[in-house]
């Protein structure tokens, strides 16, 4: 297992049902990744900007970490944990 | 529900809330548990978090005899299948805050540390009812909120017993003990289990053939006072299950430290001073955010061969201003770094705090201090809004390009969490 730290903007389709965000699909480059499970979610803050993190498993089994900046309403891909 | 305590004969009398006024909550294998919650593929596998040495290891790794502080090179040899991760301090801090926020719903006073907390439940029985049921619900709520991070809770009449009884139920457990059961519970335990018995005292006790709490109880209070000074009477009381330390939310921390190891040991003065300035800056900002100023400024350093040095200085005027603290840190560095050996770890430690408002001012450099105050106030305002990483001070420029950065600042190799 190895973790690659990233910090790249990413397009995310999310479900906001119940007043909380849940990412469903994200697009990295030309490839769409369907999220099979949100394993864990947590909140943090940088300055006054609230950040919502999601550790998400995709169909390949890899785990991607997505971050929603609720102040700017932007999503970033912050890390990926790969097998091997 | 509460798990039976093996050392106490059953059936046990169900305790009332008044019997269990202190809660001790311990996050099981904190960093490793967070990693296992984030990635289900890690569950059931030995997981090590650390850089150079193990900072945290999962219970699966502990079965191989691994523990915090073991060098990773040795850990790889003992457990080749272990998953080794660098870890990410801001993530662990966020998980810790979430867990302690949930625990704070049970008690008005929560004394938190890195991966554990004490809560004062006295007077909450009418509000929360059965403490065992409430704690079971808290454990479930924490696991739900974090995606599977488990905690162990101990309930007892005081801090020491709550923590000790919790240890009997780790991991992912709940245990309790009443004052009436304390005598039997403590009797056969090692003397080092008593709060306040550190390695030095344990060694002296072992030299006198005192190994268990029962052995310790044979020494009267005058003998213990003669041997250990002020600590002696405290040991006498605690060996009998009595611990009078209050549980209260700490408004003023004992120390605020910022430390890290270098990615590669360094003897480059620019890199070392740049890192120390960055650490001093972060420690000062945390101190100012609490409305405090530091009377004592300390420096910790470790050489590449493992030798450590620590020094501290108490200037005439307390300060939480970056330039003042950095000047003291630089002076301490030139005093402590005397060997021609590279440094592998540095840290800035502020302590002995005073309120920022009432702190004495420097009578002879009022204008200079005023300018410095206005500068850090301006920087704090910008960083409070956009994050610390938005401004890099000139003295830390040497770190640019050598250390990766994220939105939290420079990504340090082994950042310390606030202690």
- Assign A22 to helix, strand or coil: strand
What's residue B125's pLDDT? 82
Probe site for chain A from B407, B410, B411 (most A CB atoms < 10 A): B407
Angstrom CA distances, B69 to B34, B51, B54, B81, stand at 19, 10, 5, 19
How many Å apart are CA B86 and CA B96, to the nearest integer? Answer: 18
Distance of alpha carbon A83 from alpha carbon A77, whole angstroms: 18
What is the rounded CA–CA span in Å between residue B301 and residue B333? 8
The pTM for the full model equals: 0.82
Asked if A42 and B90 come within 8 Å (Cβ–Cβ), the reply is no
Model confidence band, residue B366 (pLDDT cutoffs 50, 70, 90): low
Within 8 A of A83 by CB-CB distance, chain B residues are 41
ipTM exceeds 0.85, yes or no = yes
- For A68, the enclosing helix (H) or strand (E) is strand A63-69
Distance (Å) from the C-alpha of residue A63 to the closest C-alpha of chain B? 6
In angstroms, the Cα distances linking B263 to B71, B310, B398, B411, B415 are 15, 21, 14, 10, 11
> The tokens 């009418």 sit on which residue?
B126
Q: Does A53 touch chain B (CB under 8 A)?
A: yes
Q: Which of helix, strand or coil describes residue B17? A: helix
Least CB-CB distance to A42: which of B98, B386, B406?
B98
Closest B-chain CA to A6:
B406
Share of chain B above pLDDT 90, in %: 55
The span from the first CA to the last CA of chain A, in angstroms, equals 5
Q: What is the pLDDT of residue B252?
A: 79
What is the reported pLDDT for B214? 93
How far A30 CA lies from chain B's nearest CA (Å)?
25
Nearest to A46 among B39, B147, B407 (CB): B407
Contact A5/B411, CB-based, under 8 Å?
A: yes
Nearest CA in chain B to A2: B85
Quickly list DSSP for B241-307.
T---------SS-SEEEEEEEEEEEE--HHHHHHHHHHHHHHHHHHHHHTTEEEEEEEEEEEETTS-
The C-alpha of B42 sits at a distance from chain A's nearest C-alpha, in angstroms, of 9
Q: Residue B416's pLDDT band (boundaries 50, 70, 90)? A: low
How confident is the model over B9-22, as a mean pLDDT? 74
Specify the pLDDT at position A42.
95
Residue B350 and residue B318 in contact, taking contact as beta carbons nearer than 8 Å: no
Mean pLDDT of A69-74: 90
Q: What's the rounded Cα separation, in Å, for the pair B165 and B185?
A: 9
What is the reported pLDDT for B128? 84
| pLDDT of residue B9 exceeding 50 | no
How many Å apart are CA B194 and CA B318, to the nearest integer? 36
Decide if pLDDT at B12 tops 50: yes
Confidence band of B11 (pLDDT split at 50, 70, 90): low
For B39-97, the pLDDT digits (tens) are 999 999 999 998 878 999 999 999 999 999 899 999 999 999 999 998 888 899 999 99
B163 to B8, B97, B115, B121, B140: CA distances (angstroms):
17, 20, 13, 14, 20
B→A contacts (Cβ < 8 Å), by residue, are 34, 37-42, 83, 85-86, 88, 90-91, 93-95, 98, 146-148, 383-390, 404, 406-408, 411
Percent of chain B with pLDDT over 70: 92
Could you tell me if A4 lies within 8 Å of chain B, comparing CB atoms?
no
Contact between residue A15 and residue A26 where contact means Cβ atoms under 8 Å apart? no
pLDDT digits (tens, 9 = 90+) for B295-330: 999 999 999 998 999 999 999 888 889 889 999 999
- CA–CA gap between residue B38 and residue A39 (Å, rounded): 6
Shortest Cα distance, chain B CAs vs residue A16, angstroms: 18
**What is the distance in angstroms between the CA of the first residue and the CA of the last residue of chain B?**
32
């Amino acid at each position: 297992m190895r973790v690659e730290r990233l910090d790249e903007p990413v397009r995310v389709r999310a479900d906001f049902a119940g007043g909380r965000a849940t990412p469903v699909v994200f697009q990295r480059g030309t490839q769409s990744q369907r999220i099979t499970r949100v394993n864990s979610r947590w909140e943090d803050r940088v300055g006054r900007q609230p950040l919502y993190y999601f550790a998400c498993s995709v169909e390949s089994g890899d785990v991607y970490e997505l971050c929603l900046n609720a102040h700017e309403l932007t999503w970033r891909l912050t890390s990926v944990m790969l097998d091997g | 529900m509460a798990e039976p305590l093996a050392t106490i004969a059953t059936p046990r009398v169900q305790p009332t809330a008044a019997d269990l006024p202190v809660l001790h909550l311990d996050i099981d294998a904190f960093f490793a548990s967070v990693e296992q919650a984030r990635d289900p593929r890690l569950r059931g596998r030995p997981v090590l978090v650390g850089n150079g040495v193990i900072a945290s290891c999962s219970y699966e790794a502990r079965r191989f005899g691994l523990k915090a502080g073991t060098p990773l090179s040795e850990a790889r040899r003992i457990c080749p299948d272990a998953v080794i991760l660098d870890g990410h301090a801001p993530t662990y801090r966020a998980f810790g805050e979430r867990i302690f926020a949930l625990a704070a719903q049970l008690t008005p006073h929560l004394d938190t540390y890195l991966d554990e907390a004490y809560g004062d439940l006295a007077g909450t029985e009418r509000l929360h009812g059965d403490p065992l049921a409430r704690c079971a619900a808290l454990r479930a709520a924490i696991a739900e909120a974090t995606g599977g991070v488990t905690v162990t809770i101990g309930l007892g009449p005081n801090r020491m017993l709550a923590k000790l009884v919790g240890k009997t139920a780790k991991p992912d457990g709940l245990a309790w003990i009443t004052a009436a059961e304390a005598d039997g519970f403590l009797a056969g335990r090692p003397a080092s289990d008593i709060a306040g018995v550190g390695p030095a005292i344990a060694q002296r006790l072992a030299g006198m053939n005192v190994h268990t709490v029962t052995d310790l109880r044979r020494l009267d209070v005058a003998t213990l006072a003669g041997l250990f000074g002020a600590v002696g009477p405290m040991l006498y009381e605690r060996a009998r299950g009595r611990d009078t330390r209050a549980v209260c939310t700490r408004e003023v921390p004992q120390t605020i430290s910022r430390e890290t190891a270098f990615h590669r040991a360094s003897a480059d003065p620019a890199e070392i001073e740049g890192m120390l300035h960055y650490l001093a800056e972060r420690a000062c900002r945390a101190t100012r955010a609490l409305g405090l100023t530091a009377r004592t400024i300390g420096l910790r350093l470790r050489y590449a061969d493992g030798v450590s040095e620590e020094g501290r200085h108490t200037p005439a005027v307390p300060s939480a201003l970056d330039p003042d603290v950095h000047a003291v840190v630089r002076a301490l560095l030139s005093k402590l770094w005397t060997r021609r050996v590279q440094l592998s770890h540095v840290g800035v430690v502020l302590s002995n705090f005073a309120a920022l408002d009432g702190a004495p001012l420097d009578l002879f450099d009022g204008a200079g201090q005023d300018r410095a105050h206005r500068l850090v106030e301006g920087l704090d305002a910008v960083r409070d809004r956009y994050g610390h990483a938005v401004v890099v001070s000139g003295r830390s420029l040497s770190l640019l390009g050598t250390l990766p950065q994220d939105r939290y600042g420079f990504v340090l190799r082994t950042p310390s969490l606030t202690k």
